Structure 1
Amino acid sequence: MTHSRTVELEGHIIDSGTMQRCFGAVMDLGGSFDVEQFDVGKHETEESYCRLTVSADDPETLRDILHELHQNGAVLEDPSEVDLVAAPADKVVPPNFYSTTNHPTEVLYDGEWIDVERIEMDCALVVDPEGASDGSPRAYTKTLNAVQEGDLVATDQSGIRVNPPERPRSGGGAFGFMQGGVSAERPSESTIREVAEELRAVKEDGGNVMVVAGPAVIHSGAGDALADLVAAGYVDALSAGNGFATHDLERSIYGTSLGMNVETLEHPRKGHKHHIWTISEIIRAGGIEAAVDEGIVTEGVMYECVENDVDTVLAGSIRDDGPLPDTITDAVEAQDAIREQAHDADLVIMLATLLHSVAVGNCLPSTTKTVCVDINPATVTQLLDRGSAQAIGMVTDIGTFVPTLAEFVLEGDEA
């Protein structure tokens, strides 16, 4: 016995490869399809439409196929309303709950499609019938540990519509130059200038810029340039770890980063102790802000973040020395703090940190422009493999990228 359902695809489905991915998914999962209608958009702004019947030998296979198609933006013809089941206990979701993608999503509730707020991947989708400020229904995501007993959680794919971002028909516009994934062969200077122009454009439009930074930014000598960008108002949020902040503070107090003079590459006597002495001094002062107020820390990225009221989250790890009193050592608390930063960001620049880049990438919607820079292409590759398809990577030395970026951004201020 054959089991079938009809689905619809609409948008720039040819240019973006959506139709090809959907056809391939059906065949890869052991199904078949019959295209019933196919209208091709013939102009740059005209969308295409495809309606196809998908068939499989058993309902389980059909369900798997429909799930895959749904992730790529396909919608069931005449969809039923979203199926909601009350969470049986705190942090417990019903079986077959819908796990979100990071793409813009809508739910069909009470006859209306409702946008899902705070979209990110791997969350539960909750509907509050009267949760909006005007008493209308509200849909939003919740991490599993935030689910409360009685929350109305969406199950399966019924009444849910995913809208993956589409490649611009023209191939141009903001970030059009970066399409194509990870590469070490793009012309670095022109690419960095494009990033600088986008950074300036976001700030001119009143947008929010988030920087995710690893210790190599300081150790490579790029800290001064990042501090200049913070001082000039081009960074609204900083997400980093204990190591980044410690290296930066050490450089302000002792002139070294992990015991090495960044300018001369010399290792002063007892320089290997500077990072732990730095942590001790910050603890003694009562924190980074107090150390800035007391004149212990007089320059650097953390100094500029304090002086310019930049939202800063330092997320701890099991290997941290100290840690600094500002470091969040509770993993769930750190996740929640990063999540708040990520949801406010319009542009995210990730600099030489695998763990923090992946962590932030997991919290971002696919519509947030993201640049990931690392000398190791595996960093960007892993970010993409985790589902952050909007992240485009530059494989280059961070010690070159950040100063060049700052130069291009700040020269615009002087023009």
Structure 2
Amino acid sequence: MSATRTVELEGHIIDSGRMQQCFTAVMELGGSFEVEEFDVGKNEDEASYCRLAVSADDQATLQGILHELHQNGAVLRNPPNVTLEPAPADQVVPPGFYSTTNHPTEVRYEDEWIPVEHIEMDCALVVEPEGGPDGEPRAYTKVLNAIDEGDLVATDESGIRVKPPERPRGSDGPFGFMQGGISAERPSESTIRQVAEEVAETKSNGGNVLVVAGPAVIHSGAGDALAELVREGYVDAISAGNGFATHDLERSIYGTSLGMDVETLEHPRKGHKHHIWSISEVIRAGGIEAAVESGVITEGVMYECVRNDVPYVLAGSIRDDGPLPDTITDAVEAQDAIREQAREADLVLMLATLLHSVAVGNCLPSTTKTVCVDINPATVTQLLDRGSAQAVGMVTDIGTFVPTLAEFVLENEA
């Protein structure tokens, strides 16, 4: 016996490709559809509307199709209230719990749509009936290890709607130039200039710029430019690892990065020991801030972060030498620290780091503008594959990108 449900799509569903994606999903998953109503927006500010009757041979197939349509912003017509079940124990969610996307989300509770706070992919969705400041219902995401016994967890996506972000309709604006995914063939200078304009605009509007940086930033000689951006107030937070900070500190103490002089490309005698000696000096001083205050560290990105009260999160890994006293070695604690940074960010620059880019990307809502720069296109591809669809990528040498970015940002200031 066939099963049928009616869904609705609204917004810029034609030029964003969402309508086509929904049509394709229905057919590829073994269903069929009939367009019952279709209203096309007459101008770029007017939304379009489409109502579809979606059918499948059985309820299970239909449910799979509806799940896919939900990811693309389709909503059941006359949706029911969300189904909530209490968590049976700490860190245990009910079977079939709703796993969130990173798109703006609302949940239907007591016949009202409630916005979901702290939106993030791959989380549970929790509703507190009287959790708001005035006793009103509140909905928010929780990572699985933060679930408490008794939390009311959503288990039915039919009472939930998501809104994937719309891409810019034209080529104007700072992010319009980067429509079309990843490419090494775009004109680098004009692209970097537009990223610089976005950084400057974000700051002029009181926004927050988060930089996610890998060790290659220092090793390529771009550390001075990033330090200048921090000093001049264009970076509000740094997310990195033990390696990035160690290279930066080594550069201040010995003038090398991983034993190499980044100016002459020479390898001084015993240079291969500089990074571990640097870690030792910082440990002896009592940490990065203490090393700056005592004069052990006199320049660099970490120096400017301390001097200008720019917060940083150094997330550790199994590979870390030392590690530095400031490095967070507990993975869950590091995730929580990164999550707090991500919630504050309006623009994220991911610079030459695969693991940290993916880690931060997992915590970002899809409304946060994100630029990922790496010489390896696979880095940007993996970020997109993980679900950070809002990220736009530039394939270029980080040693060229960061100094040029700093030049253009400071040029806008002049």
**TM-score, structure 2 as length reference:** 0.99
Question: Partners of 1:334 and 1:145 in 2: how far apart?
Answer: 14
Does the 8 A contact of 2:168 with 2:175 survive in 1? no
Structure 2: how far apart are the matches of 1:179 and 1:134? 42
- Residue type at the aligned position of 1:367: T
1:113 maps onto 2:119 in alignment: no
2-side partners of 1:135 and 1:234: how far apart?
Answer: 39
Once residues 373 and 149 of structure 1 are traced to their aligned partners in structure 2, the CA distance between those partners, rounded to angstroms, is: 42
Match of 2:306 in 1: 306
Structure 1 contact 44–170 (Cα < 8 Å) conserved: no
Superposed displacement of residue 173, structure 1: 2.3
Asked if the contact 2:75/2:158 (under 8 Å) is kept, the reply is no
Stretches of structure 1 lacking an aligned partner (at least 5 in a row): none
- The CA deviation string for residues 133-189 of structure 1, in whole angstroms up to 9 with x for no partner, is 121111100000001001010012121010000123334223111111100000100
What residue is the counterpart of 1:196 in the other structure?
Answer: 196
Give the CA deviation at 1:207.
Answer: 0.4
Counterpart secondary structure, 1:158 = helix
Q: C-alpha offsets along residues 59-83 of structure 1, whole Å, 9 cap, x if unaligned? A: 1111100000000000000000011
Show the counterpart of 2:11: 11
**Match of residue 329 from structure 1:** 329
Aligned identity (percent) is 82
2:369 corresponds to: 369
One-letter amino acid of the structure 2 residue matched with residue 389 of structure 1? A
Matched, 1:267 2:267: yes
SS in structure 2 at match of 1:323: coil
Q: Which residue of the partner structure matches residue 378 of structure 1?
A: 378
SS at match of 2:153: strand
Partner of residue 42, structure 1: 42
Q: Does the CA contact (< 8 Å) of 1:225 and 1:402 recur in 2?
A: yes
Offset of 1:402 from its aligned partner?
Answer: 0.1
- Three-state SS of the structure 1 residue aligned to 2:158 is coil
Residues 174 and 195 in structure 2, CA contact (< 8 A), matched pair in contact too: no
2:92 maps to 1:92: yes
List per-residue Cα deviations over 1:190-233 (Å, max 9, x = no partner).
00000000000000010000000000000000000000000000
Question: RMSD of the alignment, in Å?
Answer: 0.7
Asked if 1:123 corresponds to 2:123, the answer is yes
- Letter of the 2:377 counterpart: P
Does residue 33 in structure 1 map to residue 33 in structure 2? yes
Cross-structure match for 1:399:
399
> TM-score with structure 1 length normalisation?
0.99
| SS of corresponding position for 2:404 | helix
- Give the Cα–Cα distance (whole angstroms) in 2 for the partners of residues 158 and 55 of structure 1: 16
Query: Residues of 2 paired with 1:40 and 1:390: CA distance?
Result: 25
Question: What residue is the counterpart of 1:186 in the other structure?
Answer: 186
Amino acid at match of 2:71: Q
SS at match of 2:20: helix
- 1:149 lines up with 2:149 in the alignment: yes
User: Structure 2 stretches of 5 or more lacking a match?
Assistant: none
CA distance in 1, matches of 2:79, 2:95: 21
Q: Within 2, Cα distance between the matches of 1:365 and 1:313?
A: 19
